[in-house]
Amino acid sequence: MQEHPLWRRLLAELLGSAFLSAVVIGSGIAAQRLSPASPGLELFENAAVTAVGLFAIILMFGPVSGGHFNPVVSFVDAAFGGISWRDACAYLPVQVAGCTLGALTANVMFGIAAISISTKDRASGPHFLSEIIATLGLLLVIFSLARSDRSRMAPAAVGAYIGAAYWFTSSTSFANPAISVGRMFSNTFAGIAPGSVPLFVGAQVVGGLVATGLIKALYPSVGSEEAAKIVVPHRDRTRSETDGHPQPHVPLPTEAQ
């Protein structure tokens, strides 16, 4: 199985992160306009669109890059050998740039200034705890599916988890440092004040560290083979990336049984 070249994976992460940010922020703006003075309905609309949008985005770009769109996912994947540390470091700025680009695009699509810095303060103890739990849960979902050879279910499972976490966490489950940065560029329903971003990112990093320990405890056999399927399998089995010529198909262990 050959990995896609790094430039192609970075492009997929850039586009996927941009679409994700545009979905989150655009649906937040639409919800605010269509359901004014109804915060519960606004949140439901924002959560539902984010859940189904994330499902589609992972399907679009996951086969190329794995569909991370999230630095914490990338670095935890690197810790288990799914991608190299070098590649995880390369993913990070692309994911942040993509989420920022998506935020600016969503603003323009709805006729507001491309850059409108959010004033929505979200920094509090409950928000910090919520982001730890949201990030922890996301990683446990992803790695449990990879460990049990159910990575093909990840797009639906990840979308469902994030949609649910919008409601059971007080932070509305950012669970992603890149989207936390991107959302501060939109002074709308889904925005976050710049002063709240460090707390969110710190909590997400803590959630990633806790998740790494729990994954090792729950699934001690997780190694590079399973981690390579995060979020979805993303290696090209039919074409060499060095010479571009089709290669003979080698049966996988599950195919030989």
Q: What is the pLDDT of residue 252?
A: 47
Which domain, by its residues, includes 35? 2-233
Q: Does any domain span residue 76?
A: yes
pLDDT grade for 236, boundaries at 50, 70 and 90: low
CATH code, domain with 135: 1.20.1080.10
Does 89 have pLDDT greater than 90?
yes
Mean pLDDT, residues 123-145 taken together: 97
Place of tokens 């329903």: 189
Count of the separate structural domains present in the chain: 1
Is 257 within the bounds of a domain? no
- Average confidence score pLDDT of the chain: 91
Mean pLDDT of 35-51: 96
Residue 250 lies in a domain: no
- Residue 249: inside a domain: no
Q: Is 211 a domain residue?
A: yes
Question: Is 248 within the bounds of a domain?
Answer: no
| SS3 call for 235 | strand
pLDDT, greater one: 256 or 198: 198
173 domain-assigned = yes
- Confidence band for 234, pLDDT divided at 50, 70 and 90: confident
Q: Does a structural domain hold residue 172?
A: yes
Q: Is-above-0.85 flag for pTM?
A: yes
Phi-psi region of 84 (alpha: psi -120 to 50; beta: other; left: phi over 0): beta
Predicted confidence band at 2 (pLDDT cuts at 50, 70, 90)? low
246-255: average pLDDT: 47
Short-list 93, 89, 81, 87, CA closest to 64 = 87
First-to-final CA distance of the chain: 19
